[in-house]
Structure 1
Amino acid sequence: MGGLAPMNIITDQDFSMRAGIEEVFPLAVHRHCRWHIIKKAEETLGPFFADRPDLHKAFELCVDHSLTVEEFERSWMAMIETYQVQDNETLASLWEKRMYWVPSYFMQCFFPFLQTTQRSEGFNAALKRYVSPGNSLLQFGKQYTSLQQKILGSKLQQEAKTALKQPKLLTCLPMERQMSKTYTNKIFNK
């Protein structure tokens, strides 16, 4: 890393990793991968949310749309109170670890939409839809090629849309203008 320490680090919930990072990179902002935390929580919250779709929507709004720590904490408390879920252990555990995974706690840091292995795990999930373990090597090759073409087509389509239509800028800041030229419209508008 050229003698430079990372400023921001994303890992899974490995607490020995957290201790090592704190020791080796004391100035780095270390957060846990939101994708892994939500995926793990969904194992228990999935059926719970299925019976309470309004709670699930409130949870997503609270986590994904709170812009400040205060806003997140206020909407989390309102959600817990409104839906009377004070005794839910998974939600209580998520609350205890909130400063490690909730986006509003990291608004001052640059984490460009990536969450540890999100990209590779997302591809693995897509690959599993296309490829069966019982396939021959030839079938695997054909299906893998088909998946690559679909992904490439989607990326080319996004790039074409970006070239044809410039996103609406919300500020006059040079950084926003630069980012609108660097990212596709889909990523920029995220």
Structure 2
Amino acid sequence: MGALAPMNIIIDQDFSMHAGIEKVFPLAVHRHCRWHIIKKAEETLGPFFANRPELHSAFELCVDHSLTVEEFERSWMAMIETYQVQDNKTLASLWEKRMYWVSAYFMECFFPFLQTTQHSKGFNAVLKRYVSPGNSLLQFAKQYSALQQKILGSELQQEANTALKPPKLLTYLPMERQMSKIYTNKIFNK
């Protein structure tokens, strides 16, 4: 990294790695991958939420749409009290680790794409549709080039769509306004 320490780091929920990162990069803002945390929590919360769709909606609203720490904490507490789920161990664990995965705690930091391995796994799945293990190196290069052209065409189309119809701003915060000018609508609305 050119002798520069990273400013922001996202990892899986590995607490030994977390301790090592804090020691090696003490000034870096460190968070856990929200996708992995939610995926792991859904193993136990999925059936729990299936019987309580209103609770599931309140959970998603709280986690995905809180813009400040105070707003998140207030809506979380209201959710817990409204649905009487104080004894749910998974929700209690998520609450204890909230400072590492809830976006509201990282509003001052720039984390453009929060997924870690999910992104590379997604690209690998796309690549497998274009390239097979039996391909020669020349076939691989041609197929990979075709994939790049398809991605480039899609990106150009997204840029054109964004130029024609700018995204709708929700908060009018300076950072939101700046990001709306930099990203395509598809990325901005993620």
Q: Tell me the TM-score normalized by structure 1.
A: 0.79
Measured in 2, the distance between the counterparts of 1:187 and 1:171 equals 17
- Report the alpha carbon displacement of residue 120 of structure 1 after superposing the two structures with TM: 1.5
Identify unmatched segments of 5+ residues in structure 2. none
Measured in 1, the distance between the counterparts of 2:45 and 2:29 equals 28
Match of 1:97 in 2: 97
Cα deviations by residue, 1:129-184 (Å, 9 ceiling, x for unpaired)? x69xxx9958xx9xx98xx58766654432231233334567595x6665444311
The count of corresponding residues between Structure 1 and Structure 2 is 179
- Report the alpha carbon displacement of residue 127 of structure 1 after superposing the two structures with TM: 7.3
Identify unmatched segments of 5+ residues in structure 1. none
**Aligned-partner SS, 2:109:** coil
Measured in 1, the distance between the counterparts of 2:43 and 2:125 equals 17
Where do residues 19-168 of structure 1 align in structure 2 (5 Å cutoff)?
A: 19-124=19-124, 137=134, 148=147, 154-167=154-167
Contact 2:9 2:30 in 1 (8 A): yes
Measured in 2, the distance between the counterparts of 1:121 and 1:55 equals 30
Match of 2:17 in 1: 17
- Report the alpha carbon displacement of residue 124 of structure 1 after superposing the two structures with TM: 5.0
Counterpart amino acid of 2:121? E
Measured in 1, the distance between the counterparts of 2:173 and 2:69 equals 26
Measured in 1, the distance between the counterparts of 2:71 and 2:55 equals 17
Q: CA 1:75/1:189 → structure 2, altered by over 3 Å: closer, same or farther?
A: same
Q: CA 1:35/1:84 → structure 2, altered by over 3 Å: closer, same or farther?
A: same
Counterpart amino acid of 2:87? D
Q: CA 1:45/1:176 → structure 2, altered by over 3 Å: closer, same or farther?
A: closer
Measured in 2, the distance between the counterparts of 1:98 and 1:176 equals 23
Counterpart amino acid of 1:63? V
Measured in 2, the distance between the counterparts of 1:61 and 1:159 equals 29
Cα deviations by residue, 1:108-141 (Å, 9 ceiling, x for unpaired)? 111113321231233456679x69xxx9958xx9
Q: CA 1:172/1:38 → structure 2, altered by over 3 Å: closer, same or farther?
A: closer
**Deviating 4+ runs (over 4 angstroms):** 124-128, 135-138, 148-154, 168-173, 175-178
Q: CA 1:36/1:176 → structure 2, altered by over 3 Å: closer, same or farther?
A: closer
Cα root mean square deviation, aligned: 2.9
- Report the alpha carbon displacement of residue 17 of structure 1 after superposing the two structures with TM: 0.7
Q: CA 1:21/1:83 → structure 2, altered by over 3 Å: closer, same or farther?
A: same
Cα deviations by residue, 1:72-118 (Å, 9 ceiling, x for unpaired)? 11110110111111111111110111100000011111111332123
Contact 2:166 2:185 in 1 (8 A): yes
Q: Tell me the TM-score normalized by structure 2.
A: 0.79
